[in-house]
A and B are shown apart, each in its own frame.
Chain A
Amino acid sequence: DAKTTQPTSMDCAEGRAANLPCNHSTISGNEYVYWYRQIHSQGPQYIIHGLKNNETNEMASLIITEDRKSSTLILPHATLRDTAVYYCIVRVAMGAAGNKLTFGGGTRVLVKP
């Protein structure tokens, strides 16, 4: 699976959009970009994933650059409950390996009032 690079931490103002970048310059054509987050003392929570096109769901939007070497997770209106560590992962969706995800350090997001 391709390696990802994320900022170690970032602050965000409550009510504002939070834009979380992720670099994955070695991504292969068949690798998806996944985002999970982990709130303190809880298990990771799936947010969104995509291959080429931008994706949006009730939690967030995912913007993937045309060359797929980077992506941005957007939390449109951050709340205090969005304070968490956000993990960007790239992996091949198909194959017997299943979800053998490897989570790196992630971005520690602190939403401030």
Chain B
Amino acid sequence: GAGVSQSPSNKVTEKGKDVELRCDPISGHTALYWYRQSLGQGLEFLIYFQGNSAPDKSGLPSDRFSAERTGGSVSTLTIQRTQQEDSAVYLCASSPQINSPLHFGNGTRLTVT
């Protein structure tokens, strides 16, 4: 079946602009996570959604970052007033329940110039 889909696959933006990154999780997966991976680094947790519960935003690096998950499915990660240090690969993952292994998308590579 279809895996986690992320769009766009690549995004180049100018410093100061806002960007939206989209994630389509696997159908029926109740948990959705956002991570980012800077060049040559490991993964950094950003935020996760579980069903109708309030999202866990503890990993968001600043208030310029926000995320929504509409209808328990599609999620959008928004970065306002982008900075060069925001350049990274942003990965989305979903799982069928809270403690199941994660299924990752291939990420959106964000470059802030």
Measured CB to CB, the residues of A under 8 A from B are 34, 36, 41-46, 49, 87, 93-94, 96-106
Contact = CB atoms under 8 A, between A and B. Distances in A.
B42 A46 contact: no
Contacts of A34: 101
B104 A106 contact: no
Interface of B: 4, 31, 33, 35, 42-45, 48, 50, 56, 58-59, 91, 93, 95, 98-107
Contact of B106 (A41, A102, A105): A41
Contacts of B56: 96-98, 100
B80 to A, nearest CB: 24
DSSP class of A's interface residues: helix, strand, loop or mixed? loop
Contact of A103 (B43, B58, B99, B107): B43
- Which of B31, B33, B102, B106 has the most chain A CB atoms inside 10 A of its CB? B102
Nearest to A49: B101
Contacts of B42: 87, 102-106
27 contacts: A43-B4, A43-B104, A43-B106, A44-B104, A45-B104, A46-B101, A46-B102, A49-B101, A98-B31, A98-B48, A98-B50, A98-B98, A99-B33, A99-B98, A99-B99, A99-B100, A99-B102, A100-B33, A100-B45, A100-B48, A100-B56, A101-B45, A101-B102, A102-B43, A102-B44, A102-B45, A105-B42
